[in-house]
Amino acid sequence: MPPPAQPTAPAEPAAPPPPPSYPEAKPETEEPAPRYEQLGKPEPEVEKGDWDPWEHAAPNMHRHDGFFLRLSIGLGGGILAGDDHTLPDVDEVGLGGIGFGTSIGIGGALVDNLILNADLFQATMFNPEVEVDGENLGSADDLDRELGVGEEFELGGIGIGVTYYIMPINLYLAGSIGIAQAVFEDGNGDREGSDVGFATNLMVGKEWWVGLDWGIGVAGQVMILRAEDDILGGVTGLAFNLMFSATYN
């Protein structure tokens, strides 16, 4: 009988495989920022205190485009002459005095700086002097309405026209044509008017920006009217005013 087998020692565990090798990491270095060349002519450096925001307006700022509204009021004077009086011994009657005028323009820009607008204009002269056939008869409040005059007279009309701005100086030229009437008012407040006739309103002005879309300035206005009157015959009116204007555009 063979001898019993001797117990064997347990096998040694296999050694773990070596860790994989990685390339040695390189130290991080900061890459230089890319450099871009400026296109076109470089802007001159701005010195402290030299920056003028009015010369570097934001987009759509200080432009004459879109909706347009101009309000004007001022002082001046006017004359009106009738050249075919109905009285047999009177040929010409003229009136002249001082007063005030107004103008309202509403419209929109066709292109930048060119506006198409409706125009309402008016001029009133208080207590005008009256001249009949070249002779000064004094103020209108001392005369009979038979001459076709009143204590004040008014030229007023409505028309359509254009306004053009010359930039960058912000100077504008405006003109409109339309219909108008001469109206006479006596001391009792009674008003009588001529027939509706032809009129034109002309303005030239200069404005300064006071906001994104608002400008204020001064303007000169000339109004011309031609109509027929039952007493004075054919009448020609002329008014001129120095005005303050405020414009939104």
Each residue's pLDDT, cut to its tens digit, for the chain (249 residues) gives 566 656 665 666 666 776 666 566 666 666 666 666 666 666 666 566 555 555 555 556 678 889 999 999 999 999 998 887 676 777 788 889 999 999 999 999 999 999 999 999 999 998 888 888 777 776 655 555 555 566 788 999 999 999 999 998 999 999 999 999 998 887 677 788 889 999 999 999 999 999 888 999 999 999 999 999 887 888 999 999 999 999 998
Q: How many domains does the chain have?
A: 1
DSSP string, 162-187: EEEEETTTTEEEEEEEEEEEEEEE-T
Encoded tokens for 50: 């030299």
116 falls within a domain: yes
Where residue 235 sits, what CATH number does that domain have?
2.40.160.20
151 falls within a domain: yes
Q: 87 is in which domain, residue-wise?
A: 64-248
Which residue carries 């005013």 as its tokens?
241
26 falls within a domain: no
16 falls within a domain: no
81 falls within a domain: yes
142 close to 127: Cβ distance less than 8 angstroms: no
32 falls within a domain: no
128 close to 142: Cβ distance less than 8 angstroms: no
**Cα 86 vs. chain centroid, distance in angstroms?**
45
Q: What is the pLDDT of residue 83?
A: 82
**Cα 14 vs. chain centroid, distance in angstroms?**
96
Q: What is the pLDDT of residue 181?
A: 94
Backbone angles phi, psi at 51, to 5 degrees: -75, 125
162 falls within a domain: yes
CA dist 149 → 93, 94, 122, 138, 169 (Å): 9, 9, 18, 12, 44
210 falls within a domain: yes
Q: Of all helices (H) and strands (E), which one includes residue 124? A: strand 114-126
Q: What is the pLDDT of residue 230?
A: 84
Task: Give dist(CA 81, CA 131) in Å, integer.
Answer: 9
